[in-house]
Structure 1
Amino acid sequence: MTTSVRNGQKGRQPVMHTPPVVSPQAWEAARQQLLVKEKAQSHARDALAAERRRMPWMAVEKAYAFVGPQGNVSLLDLFEGRRQLIVYRAFYEPGVYGWPDHACRGCSMVADQVAHVAHLNARDTTLVFISRAPQADIARLKARMGWKMPWYTITDSFDGDFGVDEWHGTNVFYRDGDRLFRTYFVNNRGDEQMGNTWNYLDITPLGRQEVWEDSPDGYPQTPTYKWWNWHDSYVADAEPDKKWVEVSDVGEAAFRDQQGSAKP
């Protein structure tokens, strides 16, 4: 049987023709049928991330300058000593609708989605936002909106050089000592997926760094789930909590069964 309901919005609205209402058994059968396609999509996403980790790198030869809360900094400084850097170009500056009270509505929605950066930091990855607004305005906006990610001021052609002078975009960089490389770029609807810790890690050259991933030889990898922690409890080089190891062993076994093998 199918049902028709009003969509709940004010004013005269068309009737919604909703899916059929079925028995619990029929509902579970439909869920299992859809789950097959969802798992296929997950495996395809993992395969795409593996291909992304094998993309060629581009050396960053030009020196770029930013301003942060403590003053002038370089692109290298933005890494905060970590190997990977994710840079989101947010539009908050004179000329952007909402200035100076708000950043771009789309960029603000992206900022609202950002998970606690401690989880990225634990995977040797730093996330920063950049704009052309002065630091005083950025600090005020972050306090008002409750945003915690590092946010720097652009002072040169960085945004134009990396494809984000007129539209939002996310660039990924890798640091080998003092040598910097651009490894990935995503914009448009691809940016809509950003904010989740896993989606951020999936666009980095090292990935999630877990043993099930298909990564080039020599890439850092640790047992699945074992590195997870409360965001206020990460300690460099700390051993995984023994109780969490016991719990995650069960989850890791289920994960391997779902994958069909240790690697997709």
Structure 2
Amino acid sequence: MNVQNHPVVSREEWIAARRQHLAHEKAFTRERDKLSAERRALPWVKIDKDYHFQGPAGELKLADLFGGHSQLIIYHFMFAEGWDEGCPGCSFLSDHIDGANQHLTHHDVAVVAVSHAPYAQFEAFRQRMGWKFDWVSSQGGNFNYDFGVSVRAEDIAAGKATYNYERSDSAEKELPGLSVFYRNEAGEIFHTYSTYARGLDLLVGAYNYLDLTPKGRNEEKIMEWVRHHDRYEKQAPASCCHR
């Protein structure tokens, strides 16, 4: 929308338009609640494979990632072997994890990032970004392939690559996603949900702020303006309270 030639009306006219939009917002909220309930009602798949990961203290199993909680959210962070730094889009999303984690860890939810690269390869990047959340490596196993975020070169060549539950023409071997797991009192683990692509939008709080503004996301291609948070050009403090 062109903000330069935007309609300007009286306060009374604005209130009328806002009330009409509020009705649409409430309808959307009800539909979102319905969708969330539908998501929770999805059937589960029992995890029978013995997945292994590498963390700062050595080898871990999937059960270890729960950290005493019954619910586990795994963010599939794009970081392949040989990369010097993580995907800027995944990093943008990950900038939001620590804030949420302060609360989620007290509400029976663990959040862990998993990448295909060796642990030692992305640990320096994690420290550079200042993140505190747990991040482990799935190198050497099938975890990334089984959950649809890594693609084998032969599958790409054969046109058999899939992403977001559909055949994909992308030549990317690493892609972003999120998977959710539940562990019952008997220690059994179940896969309850996975989402990819635009399904990850809800995790990016900055986008939710932008959606409230006149210019919105203000991008032609998704995340075209996003940089690692230490790569933005330095600007004078914009805070109204700066002294």
Q: 1:26 to 1:16 in 2, by over 3 A?
A: closer
Q: Distance in 1 between matches of 2:58 and 2:195?
A: 29
SS at match of 2:100: coil
Q: Are 1:94 and 2:77 an aligned pair?
A: no
- The correspondence of residues 117-196 of structure 1 with structure 2, limited to 5 A, is 117-155=101-139, 156-165=141-150, 166-176=174-184, 177-195=186-204
Aligned to 1:49: 36
Per the TM alignment, residue 94 of structure 1 is displaced from its structure 2 partner at its CA by: 2.9
Aligned to 1:111: 94
Distance 1:18 1:58 in 2: 53
Unaligned runs of 5+ in 1: 1-6, 8-14, 200-264
Residue matched to 1:228 = none
Give runs of aligned pairs for residues 234-249 of structure 1, distance below 5 A. Answer: none
| Offset at residue 178 of structure 1 (A) | 1.6
CA contact (8 A) 2:53 2:137 kept: yes
The alpha carbon displacement at 1:193 in A equals: 1.5
1:83 and 2:67 aligned: no
Identity %: 42
Residue 207 of structure 1 aligns with which residue?
A: none
Instruction: Output the CA distance in 2 between the equivalents of 1:152 and 1:59.
Output: 22
SS of residue matched to 1:91: coil
TM-score normalised by L of structure 2: 0.69
- SS at structure 2 position matched to 1:147: coil
The code of the aligned residue for 2:191 comes to R
Q: In the alignment, residue 29 of structure 2 is paired with which amino acid? A: S
Matched to 2:55, the amino acid is: G
Match of 1:29 in 2: 16
CA contact under 8 A between 2:116 and 2:144: conserved in structure 1?
no
Match of 1:59 in 2: 46
SS of 1:46's partner is helix
Unaligned runs of 5+ in 2: 151-173, 209-243
Query: Helix, strand or coil: the match of 2:201?
Result: helix
Q: Which amino acid aligns with 1:68?
A: G
Residue 195 of structure 1 and its aligned partner are, at CA, apart by: 4.6
Change in Cα spacing, 1:76 to 1:56, as seen in structure 2 (3 Å) is same
CA distance in 2, matches of 1:136, 1:187: 26
Q: What is the TM-score when the length of structure 1 is the normalising length? A: 0.64
Deviations 1:215-247 (A, max 9, x none): xxxxxxxxxxxxxxxxxxxxxxxxxxxxxxxxx
Larger mean Cα displacement after TM superposition, 107-116 or 66-75: 107-116
- How far off is 1:16 after superposition? 5.7
Quick one: structure 1 residues 76 and 195, their matched pair in 2 at CA, closer, same or farther if it must change by over 3 Å?
Answer: farther
- Change in Cα spacing, 1:67 to 1:169, as seen in structure 2 (3 Å) is same
Q: Tell me what 2:55 maps to.
A: 68
Structure 1 counterpart of 2:26, from 27, 34, 39? 39
Flag the 1:33–1:16 CA change in 2: closer, same or farther, 3 A: closer
| Distance in 2 between residues matched to 1:158 and 1:124, nearest whole Å | 23
Q: Is contact 2:92–2:204 with CA below 8 Å preserved after alignment? A: no
C-alpha RMSD of the superposition: 2.0
Please tell me the residue identity of whatever aligns with 1:191: L
**SS at the partner of 1:117?**
helix
**SS, match of residue 7 in structure 2:** coil
Higher-Rg structure is: 1
